Amino acid sequence: MREQIMTHLRAIEAEHDVTILFACESGSRGWGFASPDSDYDVRFIYVNRLPWYLRVEPGRDVIELPISGDLDINGWDLRKALGLMRESNPTLLEWLRSPIVYCEEAQSMARFRALAERVFSSAKAWHHYTSMVRKNFREHLHADEVRYKKYLYVLRPLLAARWIRDLPGVPPMRFAELAQRTLDATADAALIDEINALLEVKMRAGESATSPRWVGLHDFIERELAAALAHTPGKEPKAHGPELDQYLHDAVLRFDAEAQNNN
């Protein structure tokens, strides 16, 4: 599968005349609770050639391949990614922490990651995660039968919001690490057992498998969501716009020059 993914990524570079700086696995495989039939959610960041950035009419800043079998591949232009970085977009930050990386331009991404750490806003990330919890909880967890994965789609951002409230820095992507660092092995022992049971059955079952409501998990989610919403994150300084502009400038010129030299 990795070979297939790399073939697709190289074909994207050739067809669209771009350079892919980073590609990783997102979704359940990146979070660490994939089902046997989970898709491969491949996400990437790419840089266009210089003329693309100099047009009066902005170009499309996303490349998406049609879903084929269990492959879902799409990516963001570098300028779009930097704009999302400025807003501390959790999806982008999770990509950078994915345990499954398909390719990475080491020099550029080291600088990109350092920028992401410097401009990270815990307040913005907290708002993203709590909004995600409220939406998923409202839409998916009130039925008598609940899909296993929907519990995890609520628990993961809920624990990320707790991380932001109680711990420094960006929350980890892998759910196991997130749970280990935010839950107490003694005080939350019963909850941890129920989460482990959920993970075990979810990773054996199909993506669409359901079960009756898990009462312990449901009660925890309601209590923790109330606590999350009672938290008021402090105001933080705005992101460093000039640093992001300089990074974009340097990356576009560098990879445009390299492409010309290779032609």
Percent of the chain whose pLDDT exceeds 70:
98
237 vs 204, which has greater pLDDT? 204
pLDDT band at 263 (very low <50, low <70, confident <90, very high): confident
Over residues 204-208, mean pLDDT: 85
The letter for the amino acid at 152 is L
pLDDT of residue 231: 84
Calculate what percentage of the chain has a pLDDT beyond 90: 75
Per-residue pLDDT at 169 exceeds 90: no
Q: What is the domain partition of the chain in residue ranges?
A: 2-120+238-262, 122-230
Instruction: Please give the Cα distance from 122 to 103 (Å, whole number).
Output: 28
The pLDDT value recorded for residue 11 is 98
* Location of structure tokens 């008598």: 144
Predicted confidence at residue 200, as pLDDT, reads 92
Reduced to 3 states (helix: H, G, I; strand: E, B; else coil), residue 187 is coil
Q: What is the DSSP letter of 61?
A: -
CB of 235 within 8 A of CB of 174?
no
| pLDDT greater than 90 at residue 206 | no
pLDDT grade, residue 238 (50/70/90)?
A: low
189 in Cβ contact with 20 (< 8 Å): no
pLDDT in tens, 51-86: 999 999 999 999 999 998 899 999 999 999 999 999
Collapsed DSSP state (helix, strand, coil) of residue 172: coil
Give pLDDT, residue 233. 79
pLDDT at 254 over 90: yes
pTM over 0.85: yes
**When comparing pLDDT for 198 and 233, which is higher?**
198
The pLDDT of residue 240 is above 80:
no
Determine the length of the chain. 263
Write down the pLDDT at residue 232: 81
Note the pLDDT of residue 205: 86
Classify strands 145-147 and 210-212 as parallel, antiparallel or unpaired.
antiparallel
Q: E strands of 37-187, at which residues?
A: 40-47, 62-64, 71-77, 101-104, 145-147
95 pLDDT more than 90: yes
Closest by CA position to 12, among listed 49, 61, 46: 46
Least confident piece of the model among 96-110, 179-193, 233-247: 233-247
The mean predicted confidence, pLDDT, of the chain is 93
- Strand 71-77 to strand 40-47: parallel, antiparallel, or no bridges (unpaired)? parallel
CATH class, 2-120+238-262 region: alpha beta
Say how many C-beta atoms besides its own lie within 10 A of residue 23's C-beta. Answer: 24
Q: Determine the 3-state secondary structure of 110 from DSSP.
A: helix
- 207 pLDDT higher than 90: no
The Cβ of residue 192 has, within 10 Å, a number of other Cβ atoms equal to 16
